Structure 1
Amino acid sequence: MTLYLQADAMPKARRQDTHMRLLPAGAHILEPGKVRFRLWAPNAEKVWVVLPGGEEHALVAEAGASWFSLELAADAGAQYRYRVRNKQGQELLVPDPWSRAQADGVHGSSLVIDPQAYLWRNQDWAGRPWHESIILEVHAGALGGYQGVRAQLPQWAAMGFTAIELMPVASFPGNRNWGYDGVLQFAPQYSYGSPDELKALIDDAHGLGISVYLDVVYNHFGPDGNYLHHYAPQFFCHQHQTPWGDAIDFAQPEVLEFYTENALYWLEEFQFDGLRLDACHAIWDQAFLLDIAARIRQEFDGRRHIHLMAENDHNSVTLLQNGYDAQWNDDSHHVLHVLLTGETGGYYADYAEHTMDKLARCLGEGFVYQGEISAHRHNQPRGEPSSGLTLSSFIIFLQNHDQIGNRAFGERLAALAPEPALKVASALLLLSPHVPLMFMGEEYGATEPFLYFTNHEDPALANAVREGRRAEFATFPQFQDTSLAERIPDPNAEASFEQSIPHDHQTPAQIAWREWISHLLQLRHLHLLPHLEQCRALRYAAFGPAAVYAQWQLGNGAILTLAVNLGAETAGKHLDELVSGPAQVLLNHGNAHAALATGEMPAYSVLACLEPPLALADHA
């Protein structure tokens, strides 16, 4: 179901009091030595909690017979599962869907967790304002688990990153997964480390001034390890379908509460600074997205900075006007990818013509597609007007997990684009007023691919995923060559994961690239970060075959001018028409400053200038 929502037609929240339920679900320690077990199982005839050694206790059906609960003698660290006999007479031994930790995987025992056991060291952390975000997206498994990510925090802080975004950590089948097959939404993946090790990672980040955001998947469950259909088929909405099967039925109060509590759980118990909601366009019930944002804003109002990010391929502005700080701007990636690589297949076809004009619009207005016809989307209109939004509403990037991992061979831009052009594009990314995001390894020019990888134990499922991956690319012309198609990496092979681990070998090229990114981040900190609030675009245009400029008025009234030439040809433009007063040159890469006098911008060059507020009248 495709929705193009206008603000005046946005869905209304269904109920404002769902959070008033007195008893939480899952296993909760009531006092030392006593735990309440509680499960929503509307299709269950009987439920038992199973403790180590086979000890079983029948849960008691509450009024309405949808909830089952029992208080037992148990404590933190206790392992348990539920044995559920459904109304069809079938029995299954299942983990707790509200499990806060798993002992050894999504099919095994859940663990009772004491949420108060971890002692926070940076309790006064209140977060950072959204416009200060400079985000590095990271995959915990590829970096050695929670401890491995924690070890890299000082280096990222020293470079100038102010936030990291963890790809999903909700428990998935097996020991390795690229993250979007989670089935136990409250349980941090056990193979990455313990819940307390995840808290220590976040605690250390806060001590270094780094915010930590979490990518959450509320649009589907993974293909293995989800037992809800057995005892709670009401969790799903059969009349609506998604690419992953039956849609989640957020109209059910218990389902809405499940995800609302999940969001609050990560933000409160783990002290995450914000959430990135995956594939919001795939959620048929858009009111859910407004419900959950309203509840989060209500809960944390005045307490600390909490930020919400959306991935929404529809380019809708509704979420950005109703509780969400920003949205991943795929348009920014697609147009720059076309420029850097020359690729125009698939969705890149929408950016193959008037590419520089589209990049200019992206810099000035956010979205490229704001209601225009998208040829790739069956000649349907895509997007809504976005020029009235703040520039920090848009997260821009050259690479991310999707745009690399969805490629057949997972190539990074380092393997696809000329290094001089990529260097210029990185300057454009980090010196524009939008919120920039980089993907782990990009900060030092990693060349390892990032493949789609899984660890399914069921051979039939592993084969289905492998063949499905190959079928996904079968329509691409280059994969008509059978030998090439057969080279597409097997997602379930351990080698696919191993190849996806980025390595900083401290080569001269990697050292130089890290220094370049660090320099750009230093410029952003010194000259942009303090003044990005109330920033607005002034003018923006393409010039030459691969060149563009944009001007913005910063919050303090100063004028930021950024001109880049991403191509190998000189671009003609009299930049002195733009920079009319005394200007501080922040960056003059490739002798771009010469263009102010000659009108010719050299190949692969960047010019960033800052004019003081007094020059504002010249740009009225």
Structure 2
Amino acid sequence: MPYGAEITPEGVRFTLYAPAQRRVRLHVDGLSLDMEARPGGWHQCLAPVSAGVRYGFELEDGLRVPDPASRYQPEDCHGPSEVVDPARFRWRDGDWRGRPWHEAVLYELHVGAFTPEGTFRSAMDRLDDLVALGVTGLSLMPLADFPGARNWGYDGVLPFAPDSTYGRPEDLKALVDAAHRRGLMVILDAVYNHFGPDGNYLGAYAPSFFTDRHRTPWGAALNFDGPDSGPVRDFFIHNALYWIEEFHMDGLRLDAVHAIRDSGPDHLLRELARRVRAAAGDRHVHLILENEDNAAARLVRGDAGAFTAQWNDDVHHGLHVALTGEGDGYYADYRANPALLPRALAEGFAFQGEVMTGREEPRGEPSGHLPPQAFIGFLQNHDQVGNRAFGERITALAAPEAVRAAAALYLLAPQIPMLFMGEEWGCAQPFPFFCDFSGDLGDAVREGRRAEFARFPAFADPARRERIPDPCAPATFLSAKLDWAARETPEPARWLDWTRRILQARRRHIWPLAARLAQGGTWRRVGDTGFVVVWPGPAGEALAVQANLGPDPLDGFADRTGEVIWTEGRFTGTRADPWSVRWTRGPAL
């Protein structure tokens, strides 16, 4: 790795990219050493120290900064870095080669809120629960070191350092190792589109990391395509390799890649995908996108520079609108056009070149040629719950029978399903937005959060906006912590049993077929609230779903034969009761 602290037989070699500095001093273990200025803006120094010592760099104006490639920050992002020996941990997953993608049942979790202790080690204690549930992969929200004691993770500033709030790097490795020994994949959310607003010192000594030629929702964009962009690209590509190689991650989920601006001949995403796959060798490693642009070209099979799958917000939006009737903001199109939901289930993207409300340019590309496994469906995730003013879960907004019908759709669809932590037992706790900023920044985040909702009719009243939880308050974070004891009470226990049974049905019926589905399906609407989707398979085989996502009975469904995989609600002949879903498998239908 060209950055950071490297342990050698002669000591530790420290390397910093600081093109805006003529001189840099290294402070380590009581020593103060001048670093050698090398060509290209690099500074390097070999010190007679070993793993465990703390260090930092002093710039020409006296400012002391941590290592941008620090592997551990024991005193948070403003403190010194610690030299970590990446070879010290003893792995026990030597036979692990990952899992094929069609077997993925993902479970998104926030390490700090997943358990009362909020640590990597305490998360290990719940792995057996997830295996018993039918989960096959953890999807960890970002871990990069952030300021303070609590954060969603998208304000990270030191992307190589797992935040010390959750434990040491060895503790994260122990979690991954334990997951692998139980057959669980671990996929990490990585943020390569911006740095957080507090604790990022790169601008002081490497301003070429940023560019004003592009903009993002969070300010200046990272420089992936302009002058001196080579070290910037290397920094993030090596970060991706670091998680795959040093931490044995089974994949990465890249946040908001539509905000990664790169107009060069080899887009950062393509280079990153190729490099990661080459490093993984014969391991199953899966690369996932969040991409508002709905770029189907990034998901093409057989292309080493393409990605495995994309979060399918279209499925979520369609399900959410059907359950709640909400139509504000980005829900408007989905309420106005219920056909977007079956299209998203069948073909992947709901918008495949059409203009979406609030946008001037067409959104998306045709996606029906892609296999269903190129998309990840969900009813809840951190964004769709936490971006609500009060962080309510779907169970607080819709009737249980409606939620189960929607869950039966996405949990058995040939797209890859993802649960959000606690969803399996109908968790009633909110997941609000939280962070640990103070001073002017804390005030700006607090007021900005309330101002964000002022444009919605429900929050036109200033008094109601004042009730929105303060994201910087410890109580807001604590309200998001899962109450594991609650799942043993009668109603959550029934929800949990239901989720286990439907995931068993997925393993038994969907996995064998999903691996062979080469492209999307066909769909048609039935009345105002119903639809049918059919996915043709090989040798005349097909998977089909009939659904009535409405509060009234609906007629007009075919009285199908074939093997019934799952029925939620009730079908009588051609008539479906309210909130009914039926999955069948058999000859081409």
Bucket of the pairwise TM-score, normalised by the shorter protein: over 0.9
Instruction: Check conservation: 1:131, 1:392, Cα contact below 8 A.
Output: yes
Aligned counterparts of 2:198 and 2:103: Cα–Cα separation in 1:
39
Match of 1:609 among 570, 573, 584: 584
Q: What corresponds to 1:13 in structure 2?
A: none
Q: Note the 1:178-193 alignment, pairs <5 A.
A: 178-193=152-167
Q: Aligned residue for 2:195?
A: 221
Q: Tell me how large the CA RMSD over aligned residues is.
A: 1.4
Instruction: Return the letter of the residue paired with 2:32.
Output: E
1:455 to 436, 454, 459: 436
Distance in structure 2 (CA, Å) of the matches to 1:409 and 1:333: 19
Displacement of 1:559 after TM fit? 2.0
1: CA distance between counterparts of 2:464 and 2:29?
50
Q: Deviations over 1:474-498 (max 9, x none)?
A: 2112222011011111111001100
1:363 aligned to 2:349?
no
Quick one: which amino acid aligns to residue 25 of structure 2? W
More displaced, 33-42 or 602-611? 602-611
Residue 42 (1) aligns with residue 19 (2): yes
Which residue of 1 is the match for residue 505 of structure 2?
523
Answer yes or no: is the 8 Å Cα contact 1:532–1:555 preserved in 2.
no
Q: 2:139 aligns with which of 154, 165, 184?
A: 165
Q: Which amino acid aligns with 1:415?
A: A
Match of 2:150 among 171, 176, 184: 176
Match of 2:391 among 399, 410, 432: 410
Percent identity, aligned pairs only, is: 46
| Corresponding residue number in structure 2 for 1:547 | 530
In structure 1, which of residues 449, 452, 467 is the aligned counterpart of residue 447 of structure 2? 467
Which residue matches 1:569?
Answer: 552
Residue 120 of structure 2 corresponds to residue 146 of structure 1? yes
- Give 2:53's aligned residue: 78
Q: Which runs of 5+ in 1 are unaligned?
A: 1-22
Is 1:319 aligned with 2:298? yes
Letter in 1 for 2:564: V
Q: Residues of 1 paired with 2:445 and 2:403: CA distance?
A: 33
Change in CA separation of 1:159 and 1:556 when aligned onto 2, cut-off 3 Å: farther
d(CA) in 2 for partners of 1:603 and 1:332?
Answer: 20
Offset, 1:242 = 1.3
Retained in 1: the 8 A contact 2:312–2:375? yes
Tell me how far apart the structure 1 counterparts of residues 275 and 241 of structure 2 sit (CA, whole Å): 9
Distance 2:395 2:384 in 1: 13
Partner of 1:7: none
SS of structure 2 residue aligned to 1:191: coil
Amino acid at match of 2:315: S
Q: Distance in 1 between matches of 2:135 and 2:47?
A: 46
Alignment of 1:479-498 (within 5 A): 479-498=459-478
Cα distance, 1:459 vs structure 2: 1.1
- Superposed CA deviations along residues 54-87 of structure 1, whole A, max 9, x for unmatched, are x3111111134x10111111111111111111xx
Q: Residue 448 of structure 1 aligns to a residue in which SS? A: coil
Deviations 1:500-526 (A, max 9, x none): 112131211110001111111000001
Q: How far 1:244 moved relative to its partner?
A: 1.3
Shift of 1:556: 6.5
Indicate the residue corresponding to 2:316 in structure 1: 333
Select 2:237's aligned residue among 222, 245, 260: 260
Distance in 1 (alpha carbons) for counterparts of 2:567 and 2:95: 40
Amino acid at match of 1:59: M
Q: Kindly report structure 1 stretches of 4+ aligned residues shifted beyond 6 Å.
A: none
1:374 corresponds to which residue?
356
What are the equivalent positions in structure 2 for 1:577-616 lying under 5 Å apart? 579-580=560-561, 583-592=562-571, 594=572, 598-611=573-586, 615-616=587-588
Aligned-partner Cα distance in 2 for 1:261–1:196: 19
**Mapping of residues 88-237 of structure 1, within 5 Å:** 90-143=61-114, 144-237=118-211
Task: Name the structure 1 match of 2:458.
Answer: 478
Q: 2:36 aligns with which of 44, 53, 60?
A: 60
Higher mean displacement: 132-141 or 235-244: 235-244
- TM-score, reference length from structure 1: 0.90
Q: Distance in 2 between matches of 1:332 and 1:338?
A: 10
C-alpha separation in 2, matches of 1:360 and 1:176? 38
> Cα deviation per residue 1:74-101 (whole Å; 9 max; x = unaligned)?
111111111111xxxx231000001000
CA-CA distance at 1:438 after TM superposition:
1.1
Which residue pairs with 1:294 in the alignment? 274
Contact 1:94 1:227 (C-alpha < 8 Å) held by counterparts: yes
Query: Which residue of the partner structure matches residue 423 of structure 1?
Result: 404
Q: Is contact 1:101-1:187 (8 Å) kept? A: yes
Q: How far off its partner does 1:316 sit? A: 1.2
- Alpha-carbon displacement from aligned partner over 1:527-555 (angstroms, at most 9, x marks no partner): 11122123144432221332222122345
Matched residues, number:
573
Question: Quick check: 2:526–2:557 contact (8 Å CA) kept in 1?
Answer: no
> What CA distance in whole angstroms lies between the structure 2 residues aligned with 1:610 and 1:304?
32
Shift of 1:377: 1.7
Following superposition, the deviation at residue 557 of structure 1 comes to: 4.8
Shift of 1:335: 1.0
Would the aligned equivalents of 1:105 and 1:172 in 2 still touch at CA under 8 Å? Answer: yes
Question: 2: CA distance between counterparts of 1:501 and 1:553?
Answer: 42
Listed as ranges, the gaps of 5+ residues in structure 2 are: none
Structure 2 distance, partners of 1:175, 1:590, is 45
